[in-house]
Amino acid sequence: MRLFEFTRTLAEGGNVFKGDLATQRILKADVLPTVNWLERILGMALKNNLLGSTGKKPDSGDIDIGLQQDTVSKDDLFQKLRKWAADNKLRPEDYVRKTGTSVHFRTPIAGDPNRGFVQTDLMILPDMKFAQFFMSPDPNSTFKDAQKHILLASIAKHGGLRWSPTVGLTSRTTGNVIANEPEHIAEMLLGPNASAQDLTSVERILKTLENDPEREAKISDAKKTLGLLGSDEI
């Protein structure tokens, strides 16, 4: 996957339902009641599986929830949500979709369709702990979390690797996982004195690379990609 394609994948996450089925943003106060309702219809615990900025900012564009892949199957989750829609005399295709490793659910806010709908992205992940670390944005950063991953992908590419916020560093030739521990990843991408915390924001990444003689080469692709997307350059 080229860096621009990787960026486009990150940026597309919130727009599965469109037109008459378009969803809306959800207020922070409504996130927990909505997740509680989802727990009841799915029969599984979800509150501790929130990803990204869900429930942390005043409002969110969607609800991101991670599920450990050895505890649930994507197809079972998809069919369970379709059954809920059919049981409620709704068109399943209007409420449930799947892409890649995710199942997307057009979710009534707090279980009440009169309050509108928010998109819930249920992501089947190989390592929940890993994903929660890397998909949690730094609240003090002036950059979007997607921009952080664009930067990490650029640095990884310079080293002959690929970056994934759900898997870690993989070989560009074999696809095998090279590193999936934050501390090890920090050392490989940013240098032997780097720590996992140096990976948590664009600002910290750039600060750690400040004296790296290969700094410009490492971030070159990120600059090009962010420019193509009309984002602020790093």
Q: Which domains are seen in the chain, by residue range?
A: 14-125 (3.30.460.10), 133-228 (no CATH)
- Whether residue 26 is predicted with pLDDT greater than 70 in this model: the reply is yes
Both structure tokens of 204: 């910290």
Mean pLDDT of 201-212: 95
- pLDDT at residue 145 in the model: 87
- pLDDT at residue 232 in the model: 54
Cβ(191)–Cβ(174) under 8 Å? no
Placement of tokens 């940026």 in the chain = 11
Q: Could you tell me whether strands 161-164 and 168-171 are parallel, antiparallel, or unpaired per DSSP bridges? A: antiparallel
- Whether residue 227 is predicted with pLDDT greater than 60 in this model: the reply is yes
- pLDDT at residue 5 in the model: 43
Mean pLDDT of 112-126: 96
pLDDT band, residue 3 (cuts 50/70/90): very low
Q: How many angstroms separate the Cα of 88 from the Cα of each of 42, 82, 120, 121, 145?
A: 14, 10, 18, 21, 37
Mean pLDDT of 210-217: 95
Mean pLDDT of 22-28: 96
- Whether residue 168 is predicted with pLDDT greater than 90 in this model: the reply is yes
- pLDDT at residue 226 in the model: 80
Pick from 124-138, 179-193, 220-234 the range whose average pLDDT is largest. Answer: 179-193
pLDDT band, residue 57 (cuts 50/70/90): confident
Cβ(103)–Cβ(78) under 8 Å? yes
- The least confident of 156-170, 205-219, 220-234 is 220-234
pLDDT band, residue 33 (cuts 50/70/90): very high
Q: Could you tell me whether strands 63-68 and 117-125 are parallel, antiparallel, or unpaired per DSSP bridges? A: parallel
Cβ(229)–Cβ(3) under 8 Å? no
Q: Taking all residues of the chain, what is their mean pLDDT, rounded to a whole number? A: 90
